[in-house]
Chain A
Amino acid sequence: MSIFRSEEHVLNWTRANGHAVGAIVDLPQVWQLAKLWYADPRATTWRPRTRDESQAVIASAGLTGAFWELPK
């Protein structure tokens, strides 16, 4: 997941490097995803999430659709 100044820069980079465009998400939404995704692993209660829990977190950040479907 790479940062760009704008969507135009994503399009420049993908064209120049022969990649298809994936999903472009603005920084505040990625901040929301990170806030929901990252619990502190220094907590004794921390544990890895299940696949379905991770999918729910992604959806909670407003990211839905086929691109955001984790492997079954």
Chain B
Amino acid sequence: MDPVALRIFVYDEIVARGRPPALSDIAARFEITVPNARRALAELKIGKTILVDPQSGEIWMAGPFSAVETPYHVVSGSRTWWANCAWDMLGVVMIVNERTTIHTQCTDCAAPMTLTGDPSVRPNEKAVVHFLVPARRWYEDIGFT
């Protein structure tokens, strides 16, 4: 399978539907078996960009998008996406390339925060992002990071 076509399909699905394709979707799209779809995903070898659940083989995250609900919810009209972290919530804005609304909450006090996510305009909301671990350790445990 062409890995570029697979990568583009994965992200096209996420941007259109808000969630990554299941292995069965990939199998149907490329007319291959589910085990072969699982193998193709595992062999994508694009760094830490697409990570799969080791048990199920399904996509767990396709950076900056998360396949599961997180505190970082990006909304544009009827489409919504989950981001892996505060950096990634702005990465989602850049990739979908639309003015969005971001619903999140303060990690300390859980106060709801609503931000404007615009790929062309710096946000002016008063908020900060805490990078807990230094860059040299970002990829040791991507889930924790």
A: residues with CB less than 8 A from B are 1-7, 9-10, 12-14, 16, 19, 21-28, 30-35, 37-38, 40-42, 44, 46-48, 58, 66-71
**Chain A residues within 8 Å of B87, by CB:** 1, 30, 33-34, 37
Task: Using known A-B contacts A38-B95, A40-B95, determine if residue A46 contacts B7 with beta carbons closer than 8 Å.
Answer: yes
The docked-state distance in angstroms from the alpha carbon of A6 to that of B129 is 9
Task: Using known A-B contacts A27-B123, A34-B87, determine if residue A22 contacts B131 with beta carbons closer than 8 Å.
Answer: yes
Shortest distance between the CB of B14 and any CB in chain A (Å): 9
Residues B131 and A10 in contact, CB atoms below 8 Å apart: no
Q: Which of A3, A32, A40, A70 is B97 in contact with, Cβ under 8 Å?
A: A40
Residues B113 and A2 in contact, CB atoms below 8 Å apart: no
- Interface size class of chain B, counting residues whose CB lies under 8 Å from the partner chain: 35 or more
Report whether over half of chain A's contact residues are helix, strand or loop; otherwise say mixed. mixed
User: Is there a chain A Cβ closer than 8 Å to B139's Cβ?
Assistant: yes
The 5 closest A-B pairs by CB, nearest first: A34-B90, A9-B108, A13-B108, A2-B107, A3-B86
**Chain B residues within 8 Å of A70, by CB:** 135-136, 138
Closest B residue by C-beta to A47:
B46
Task: Using known A-B contacts A27-B115, A27-B125, A38-B64, determine if residue A3 contacts B11 with beta carbons closer than 8 Å.
Answer: no
The docked-state distance in angstroms from the alpha carbon of A23 to that of B71 is 20
**Chain A residues within 8 Å of B133, by CB:** 22
20 contacts between A and B (CB under 8 A): A1-B129, A3-B86, A3-B107, A3-B127, A4-B127, A5-B108, A9-B108, A23-B130, A23-B134, A24-B128, A27-B123, A28-B124, A32-B122, A34-B87, A35-B90, A35-B94, A38-B94, A42-B8, A69-B135, A71-B139
